[in-house]
Chains A and B, each alone.
Chain A
């Protein structure tokens, strides 16, 4: 049975993209194609949408026409702000994805388009349009920000992306040092999304024995191996309709990575011992405390899997980069553990708080939480003293980076980001990138080597 109409607007001039998407959507929607035109004036667009009686708009674009696509989204938000717009792209990086979501796109999909991926997303967007309540979905800003604590600019920059990420269906990669709250963010995304009333399945890939990972994720049928006396449902099937959170994704063995990649591409998988493929509707949120680009260089993670997961990425800052949040976090944990332990502790002395502020926090927020918990146990006064705080490496306490060290780090970070940005813009052309950067080619190449940047990932796929 077909539901509301869908309008296909094409700014890409790519017949193949448009026809592929049309073939998929025609199975479930009444499709109207807008005429190929570079002039998407408001009046003309408005007429096209009214004629189509569209409850959903697909905007097809390629990287080169992204600016035009963004203009069209802006126009659509003016004319029909309530109609969801899904952007269909040939390829898309995380920064572009955020731009589109910020502009008002409800979701985006990237090629290759699969029916099993496109249609559920379209229906979810349509549900929102028709005003159907999503069970379990929280008022995202209010609830998410209750769980995520901080006020520093660097924290807010990432936290404010949660609502945008939750509103779409793309897979997510969360990167951050240990203890920065990756699982917390993953849950915030899940419970702010249309999948909120469905399972959230967290898995620590590093904690599962290598030989058991594939079975754990994909399950097995009876008789699949000697001890398989009954059917076992895998985590992918358990998470059906919901979110699968794969922590320490870099620890996944290569054979499981291959199967996971297939699942991400085709939305289908084969339990161990089974000859039949099964399908599942699962959003994957992966996390790692490694720089996954380096993990790819080292051969720990497949490059194609990395690209599939890195559709939207979130980098969580270490606590030492958001020191102004330490008092807020410390008092939050104080309240929590005072209650848990029926303690009389009410606050920190100034000296104790200073100690927390200058420590390096290699274990980040989790380490801070444990330090406060320990301090409450040790403290028998209303205020936690500096002497009550036990830090894992006392030698680090009191050590602060010098201005020169901090400056050098910032410069390195800037240089690396700049080079990656200009290589991306030049599609991997080193000569052109060097020209734009006003550096000679040799010096530019030395910087690429210094930061171990893989130029091939910026080149267009052949």
Chain B
């Protein structure tokens, strides 16, 4: 029902005799394993390139979709194992606009939404 990302319970501290392995979180409380190495100590964050691919794939299936950056992050990238950072999504969108794949629509309320520039008929 609810999203609870991290297990930060203080009771999960390993003692010398405890068989529980300590999970290190060098980059914050992420718990997702890296799909390449399986290493649980590093959370795999989607890169800009992966985010670009994910947006292209979403629009391939939904060529008439349109939304703002916030909506795209929340709803278009659900197939990625983890959410990318806001900055990665912003950069991905800029790249896709620059490449002519996406068009930007700026409203008078300063909100910017994105859609495929030339959707198939």
Which residue in chain A gives the minimum CB-CB distance to B113?
A: A201
Is the pair B78, A339 in contact by a Cβ cutoff of 8 Å? no
Q: Does B111 contact A (CB under 8 A)?
A: yes
Known contacts A203-B111, A208-B109; is-contact A136 B61 (Cβ 8 Å): yes
Is the pair B68, A202 in contact by a Cβ cutoff of 8 Å? yes
> B1-23 interface mask toward A, CB cutoff 8 Å, 1 = contact, 0 = none?
11111101010000000000000
Docked CA distance A347–B6 (Å): 9
Is the pair B5, A332 in contact by a Cβ cutoff of 8 Å? yes
Q: Which residues of B contact A135 (CB under 8 A)?
A: 61-62
B10 CB to nearest A CB, Å: 7
Is the pair B62, A335 in contact by a Cβ cutoff of 8 Å? no
Is the pair A146, B3 in contact by a Cβ cutoff of 8 Å? yes
Q: Does A200 contact B (CB under 8 A)?
A: yes
Q: Report which of B25, B87, B110 forms a contact with A346, defined as CB distance below 8 A.
A: B25
Q: Which residues of B contact A212 (CB under 8 A)?
A: 108
Which residue in chain B gives the minimum CB-CB distance to A233?
A: B105
Q: Which of A79-87, A234-242, A390-398 contacts B (4 or more CB under 8 A)?
A: A234-242
Is the pair B3, A332 in contact by a Cβ cutoff of 8 Å? yes
Contacting A at CB under 8 A, from B74-116, are: 74-75, 78, 85-87, 105, 107-111, 113, 115
Is the pair B29, A338 in contact by a Cβ cutoff of 8 Å? yes
Docked CA distance A238–B5 (Å): 36
Q: Does B118 contact A (CB under 8 A)?
A: no
Q: Which of A113-121, A191-199, A271-279, A410-418 contacts B (4 or more CB under 8 A)?
A: A191-199
Q: Does A320 contact B (CB under 8 A)?
A: no
Q: Which residues of B contact A147 (CB under 8 A)?
A: 3, 74-75
Is the pair A203, B109 in contact by a Cβ cutoff of 8 Å? yes
Is the pair A343, B28 in contact by a Cβ cutoff of 8 Å? yes
Known contacts A197-B62, A331-B4; is-contact A340 B29 (Cβ 8 Å): no
* Residue among B4, B10, B108, B110 with max Cβ neighbours from chain A (10 Å): B108
Docked CA distance A212–B43 (Å): 46
Is the pair B28, A338 in contact by a Cβ cutoff of 8 Å? yes
Docked CA distance A151–B2 (Å): 7
Interface residues on B, range: 35 or more
Q: Does B64 contact A (CB under 8 A)?
A: yes
Q: Which residues of A contact B64 (CB under 8 A)?
A: 197-199, 241-242
Is the pair B10, A347 in contact by a Cβ cutoff of 8 Å? yes
B54 CB to nearest A CB, Å: 14
> A139-176 interface mask toward B, CB cutoff 8 Å, 1 = contact, 0 = none?
00001011101110000100000000000000000000
Q: Report which of B1, B25, B68, B108 forms a contact with A208, defined as CB distance below 8 A.
A: B108
Contacting B at CB under 8 A, from A226-248, are: 235, 238, 241-242
Is the pair B66, A201 in contact by a Cβ cutoff of 8 Å? yes
Docked CA distance A342–B26 (Å): 9
Q: Report which of A187, A202, A203 forms a contact with B74, defined as CB distance below 8 A.
A: A187
A342 CB to nearest B CB, Å: 6
Docked CA distance A345–B105 (Å): 37
Q: Report which of B6, B10, B68, B86 forms a contact with A331, defined as CB distance below 8 A.
A: B6
Q: Report which of B62, B70, B71, B111 forms a contact with A204, defined as CB distance below 8 A.
A: B111
Q: Report which of A145, A191, A216, A338 forms a contact with B107, defined as CB distance below 8 A.
A: A216
Docked CA distance A339–B43 (Å): 9
Docked CA distance A19–B62 (Å): 39
Docked CA distance A156–B107 (Å): 34
Q: Report which of B30, B61, B75 forms a contact with A339, defined as CB distance below 8 A.
A: B30
* 8 new A-B contacts at CB < 8 Å, known A216-B109, A335-B30: A156-B1, A187-B71, A198-B64, A201-B66, A216-B108, A235-B107, A238-B105, A339-B85
Residue ranges of B at the interface with A (Cβ–Cβ < 8 Å): 1-6, 8, 10, 25-30, 43, 45, 61-62, 64-68, 70-71, 74-75, 78, 85-87, 105, 107-111, 113, 115
Task: List 17 A–B pairs whose Cβ atoms lie within 8 Å, in order of A's numbering.
Answer: A143-B78, A145-B1, A145-B2, A151-B2, A187-B75, A204-B111, A207-B108, A208-B107, A212-B108, A331-B8, A334-B6, A339-B30, A339-B43, A339-B45, A344-B26, A346-B8, A347-B8
Residue ranges of A at the interface with B (Cβ–Cβ < 8 Å): 135-136, 138, 143, 145-147, 149-151, 156, 183-184, 187, 191, 196-205, 207-209, 212, 216, 235, 238, 241-242, 328, 331-332, 334-335, 338-340, 342-347
